[in-house]
A and B are shown apart, each in its own frame.
Chain A
Amino acid sequence: MISNLVDNLHFLTAILLFLIGFHTMLTHSNLIKKIIGMNIMETGIFLFFISIGYVEGGSAPIIREGTAMVNPLPSALILTGIVVGVSLTAFALALVIKLYRYYGTIDADEIMRLRSNEE
């Protein structure tokens, strides 16, 4: 099992990025840092999915004379995922702007305290 883990180093890097992003989302209370953590998590997932399609000795999937090609299907599917991630980040930032205009702070614990004081 250990030799199998050492061979799949790219998957381990993707898992490390996912855990770093998850830790950032859970521990910091600033809302912008939570959004940054979400982006790091997405990068880890994309790296994991695209590196499934690598073939030894292959290069980019452009048809030229004689070289082998990597698997083009995971890259083509992740393009849609990247665009969805951009839209999600933009919407989350717009929500943070609205929260700042209403409460005057972008600290998540502070906002929850102000909301529980209002009622």
Chain B
Amino acid sequence: MRAALTTVVLVLIGLILLFMVAEMPTFGEMGPAYNEVAHHYTQCAVDETGATNVISAIILDWRAYDTLGEATVLFAGIAAVLAILAAHGQRKKGR
């Protein structure tokens, strides 16, 4: 019963995704994802930032605020893990 329901749901989701892939632009052409922002980033990387790695120039110069948010996500993740795991062992030593 559970296996049949799982198969039906998966086949339905697979068909919807297949119809979506058929409408997408061809793999490898300069589609609508290569817009004027990407052209500006690849052509002005050396002049404006001085770095030859374009992805480093993107995540640390033009979009550096997003990297700051990602550092916050790392910190929040480890704070959550330590709050859950270390709460068990402290009670023995505290008394």
- Judge A-B direct contact (beta carbons within 8 Å): yes
Q: Which residues of A contact B (CB under 8 A)?
A: 1, 4-5, 7-12, 15, 18-19, 22-23, 26-27, 51-56, 61-64, 69, 71-76, 79-80, 83-84, 86-88, 90-91, 94-95, 97-98, 101
Contact among A4, A19, A98 with B22 in the assembled complex (CB-CB below 8 Å): A4
The answer to whether A101 and B53 touch across the interface, beta carbons within 8 angstroms, is: no
The answer to whether A72 and B55 touch across the interface, beta carbons within 8 angstroms, is: yes
Count of A-B contacts judged by CB separation below 8 Å: 122
Contact among B3, B24, B84 with A8 in the assembled complex (CB-CB below 8 Å): B24
Given the complex, which residues of B lie within 8 Å of A86, measured CB to CB?
Answer: 77
Q: Which residues of B contact A (CB under 8 A)?
A: 2-3, 6, 9-10, 13-14, 17-18, 21-22, 24, 26-31, 33-34, 37-38, 41-42, 45-46, 52-55, 58-59, 63, 66-67, 69-70, 73-74, 76-78, 80-81, 84-85, 88
Query: How long is the Cα–Cα vector from A114 to B66 in the complex, in angstroms?
Result: 44
**Nearest B residue to A86 by beta-carbon distance?**
B77
The answer to whether B38 and A73 touch across the interface, beta carbons within 8 angstroms, is: yes
Contact among A15, A61, A80 with B55 in the assembled complex (CB-CB below 8 Å): A61
